[in-house]
Chain A
Amino acid sequence: MRVTQSMMSRNLIQNLNLNRENMNGLQQAAATGKEISASSDDPVRFARAARYRKTLAQYDQYMRNGNDGIGWADNYAMVMNEFQNLVVEARNVAIQGSDAAQSSQTRLVLANRIDGIIEQSVSIANSSFLGKSIFSGTDTRNLQPFAYDGVSVSYSGNDSKMTRRVSEGMDVEVNITGSELSAASLFNSLIDLRSALTANDAATTASLITDMDVAADNLLSLESRNGLSKSHMQMTQSRIETAKTNVLSFLSETEDANLAEVIMEYNAEEMAYQAALQTTSKAIQLNIMDFIR
């Protein structure tokens, strides 16, 4: 077969275009730091990278949920500590009131102090976090779930648990409900103590010191549960952070990290392109004069 000048030129131009195509891809990779820019480059890897990008978004959501849950746990820890301080104060009042040498007048004064502690406790039980009531179960818009009418403390929230999804299939309970708080016998013990002091009953007042200890233990138990939830969420956060970093490493290596290789490859391609360009340039510069020399 006779190879004509035009066939030669066409082949050279085709080769040149092929090289230029390769170079475009590599230049784009080098410029963007991304080896994968379109699914046509490597559909399998692109699909896998896209899937893991989705996973990253999921991790971010888990991290946000975990941070929110840890925020609630920190808030509960603070509030439970305030309750404990009030219990200590009430216990000291009970010790004072149990002293047989105290007058009825003094016990009335002490009863008023306990009444103040009850009001403070109810006020703390009506605390909110980020505009949401913390002890009203899932009825977080009920900002006054506890009411004190001077005789008893009532609860109008629900017993539902708030959960946060901190990992795949892992929900952590983050709230302490008002019923659980009531079950810690804090309010009842305080009300009993106030009644005993008002009635000038030293013996009952003495027996209620133990009730104060029981309330403190119950509150501590709720605090411990809260602490465990927090630590569970923190551990999960660490694992999610590690998983996220691993996926990012994989993606950076898939999408970014072949940079050194891309640059090396780029240089090689550029040399091939320049060589092809020179050859083509020489070939298409040939004209009739070259054949009659």
Chain B
Amino acid sequence: MTTQTEVSTAATVTSETSFGGIPMMGMQKVAMINGLPGFEDLHNFVLAELEGYAPFCAFQSVEQSSISMLVINARLLSVWTGIDIPPRELAILGLEESQTAEQFVILKIDHGSQEFTANIKAPIVFNPATGVANQVILDNANLSVEHSMKNELT
């Protein structure tokens, strides 16, 4: 029995999302226990691969179809080496160790330079077994909310 909460069809969320008609695959339901900062009233999202855009994924609100963000698995980033999620944050999600947590960072494109940046200071930490997640603000002054993806994507 799989413990992952997967959404069976893409049709429910692709039609009106900001990602337009890009098909989404391997969707997982994500329940944000504290909402998403900036969108506190939204608690239910799906995390989905964007076909043809791997390794980028969509973090798509179920409650408001036009609210979505581009995310990437934090472990794919070289900068992520050695970054640990505090045990108390893992405990909130019912996790015992960092290894079992899925970690995603939200991406944005800088308005002027069109450069991709990642918010590595506040990853979305996700318990794949229960589907609950939280955006954890890491107490580390070296981590930026606008980490350049320039050297991460080459």
* Contact status of A241 and B53, CB under 8 A, knowing A33-B114, A252-B111, A257-B108: no
On B, residues with C-beta under 8 Å from A are: 18-20, 22, 36-39, 53, 66-70, 106-111, 114, 119, 121-122, 135, 137, 145-146
A residues less than 8 Å from B111 (CB atoms): 33, 252, 256
26 residue pairs A–B, Cβ–Cβ below 8 Å: A33-B109, A33-B114, A44-B66, A48-B66, A48-B67, A52-B38, A242-B145, A243-B37, A243-B38, A245-B108, A245-B119, A245-B122, A246-B36, A246-B106, A246-B119, A246-B135, A250-B69, A252-B110, A253-B18, A253-B19, A253-B108, A253-B109, A256-B109, A256-B111, A257-B108, A258-B18
The docked-state distance in angstroms from the alpha carbon of A244 to that of B38 is 6
Q: How many residues of A contact B (CB 8 A)?
A: 27
A residues less than 8 Å from B69 (CB atoms): 246, 249-250, 253
Q: Which 6 A-B pairs have the closest CB atoms?
A: A243-B38, A243-B37, A249-B108, A246-B38, A252-B108, A247-B38
The docked-state distance in angstroms from the alpha carbon of A60 to that of B51 is 36
The docked-state distance in angstroms from the alpha carbon of A252 to that of B115 is 11
Of A33, A242, A247, the most chain B CB neighbours within 10 A belong to: A242
The docked-state distance in angstroms from the alpha carbon of A231 to that of B22 is 43
Given contacts A245-B38, A249-B70, A254-B66, 20 further A-B contacts (CB under 8 A): A45-B18, A48-B67, A241-B145, A242-B119, A243-B38, A245-B106, A245-B108, A245-B119, A245-B145, A246-B38, A247-B39, A249-B107, A249-B119, A250-B38, A250-B69, A252-B108, A252-B109, A252-B111, A253-B68, A257-B70
* Contact status of A239 and B18, CB under 8 A, knowing A252-B108, A253-B70, A259-B109: no
B residues less than 8 Å from A247 (CB atoms): 38-39
* Contact status of A242 and B22, CB under 8 A, knowing A249-B106, A250-B67: no
Residue of A with least CB distance to B21: A261
Contact B37 A246 (CB under 8 A): yes
* Contact status of A55 and B18, CB under 8 A, knowing A44-B66, A246-B69, A259-B109: no
B residues less than 8 Å from A242 (CB atoms): 37-38, 119, 121-122, 135, 137, 145
Distance between A232 CB and nearest chain B CB, rounded to angstroms: 14
B residues less than 8 Å from A253 (CB atoms): 18-19, 68-70, 108-109
B residues less than 8 Å from A249 (CB atoms): 69-70, 106-108, 119
Contact A256 B20 (CB under 8 A): no
Of A249, A254, A258, A260, the most chain B CB neighbours within 10 A belong to: A249
The docked-state distance in angstroms from the alpha carbon of A39 to that of B148 is 32
A residues less than 8 Å from B68 (CB atoms): 250, 253
